[in-house]
Amino acid sequence: MKNKLEKLRADFLQELGQVKNSEYLRELELKYLSRKGELSLIMGELKDLSVDLRREVGELANKIKVELQTRFEEVSRQLAEGSIKKELIDVTLPGETLADGHLSPITLVQNELEDLFNSLGFMILDGPELESDYYNFTALNMPPTHPARDMQDTFYLDHKNKEGQYDLVMRTQTSPVQIRSMQKYGAPLKAIIPGRCFRCEATDARHEHTFYQVEGIMIDKNINFSHLKSLLEIVGQRLFGAGTKLRMRPKFFPFVEPGNNGEYTCFLCQGKGCRVCKYTGWLEIVGAGLIHPDVLRAGGIDPEVYSGLAFGFGLNRLAMLKYNISDVRLFNSGDLKFLEQF
């Protein structure tokens, strides 16, 4: 019991030494000195001791009680007088500055395209990343077993329809939103659709399983190839400078007819040929074409009345070219050394 008392004394004095405000002092009083405090508890045990011991320990307990109370009152008085430094918060001290975040280069290019197309009267739309096989392929003229499906290695979800076919995919392109937006808004329609896409790629410096595209569609009466050409020219000049030229070469995409690959003069060598353009002078950046009549029909639009154009930019590709980024895998790496440069 003597030990208990000594320990209580030491604890109390130690805590008392840290008192900086009256709330804390009051807490100490309750914990140690009040009627139900620790000191009273120990003193309550005195009655169980032998008479001799009781006298000895009782004396010690009383001595400690007096000492603790005196020290308590001293501190209490000092606190009231202000001779103990109260806890101070200096509101004029400068705060901790939080580092600003950085927009990813993909977002920067996306913002630039959104600004441009907004100024041309295009809506900016969105679509689901988890897509049905129907919207991602079938409605775009790629029914099951169509060989063009091989152009896009696909992540299917482990989910089958009533016929036993896998019917949900991580979208391989933003093109399914062409159909969705036609169904929702009808014609005429002008929209771009930026978004994330997925393909089951073996990754390397130019291929990534998760990447971004910006789809564009424009549907109205008498939309023709010259509209497509001028739109793509405007984009090239906006992103890569006024002197940028466009060349369009035929390419097969099942959902456009005719279809083509849009290529821009290499911004680095101005068409002379260099490492970036693989010495061709041209950079392949956008798939495009006039929307196939069946695709318009799938979207509920009459191809006898309306025609349309569609294009799809690879956003990672655009950002790589614009900011001279050599490896597409950097975008998903989460590496701050990379991101903080933008």
Smallest distance, Å, CB 202 to ligand PHE? 18
Comparison of 15 and 284: residue with beta carbon closer to ligand PHE: 284
Comparison of 176 and 271: residue with beta carbon closer to ligand PHE: 176
Part in contact with ligand PHE (CB under 6 A); list of ranges 126-134, 200-208, 268-276, 286-294 = 286-294
Q: What are phi and psi of 123, to 5 degrees?
A: -80, 160
Q: Which of residues 296-335 bind ligand PHE (CB under 6 A)?
A: 310-312
Select from 256, 295, 318, 328 the one that contacts ligand PHE (CB under 6 A). Answer: 256
- The DSSP line for 17-73 is TT--SHHHHHHHIIIIISTTSHHHHHHHGGGGS-HHHHHHHHHHHHHHHHHHHHHHH
To 10 degrees, what angle do helices 105-119 and 225-240 make? 130
Q: Give the Cα separation of 229 and 224 in Å (integer).
A: 9
Q: Give the Cα separation of 103 and 108 in Å (integer).
A: 7
Applying CB under 6 A, what is the total number of residues that bind ligand PHE?
A: 11
Q: Judge contact between 8 and 64, C-beta under 8 A.
A: yes
Smallest distance, Å, CB 130 to ligand PHE? 17
Smallest distance, Å, CB 307 to ligand PHE? 14
Q: Which of residues 137-196 bind ligand PHE (CB under 6 A)?
A: 173, 175
Comparison of 32 and 331: residue with beta carbon closer to ligand PHE: 331
3-state helix, strand, coil in the chain (%, to 5): 45, 20, 40
Select from 64, 231, 288, 298 the one that contacts ligand PHE (CB under 6 A). Answer: 288
Structure token digits, residue 273: 């040929």
Residues in contact with ligand PHE by CB under 6 A are 173, 175, 253, 256, 259, 287-289, 310-312
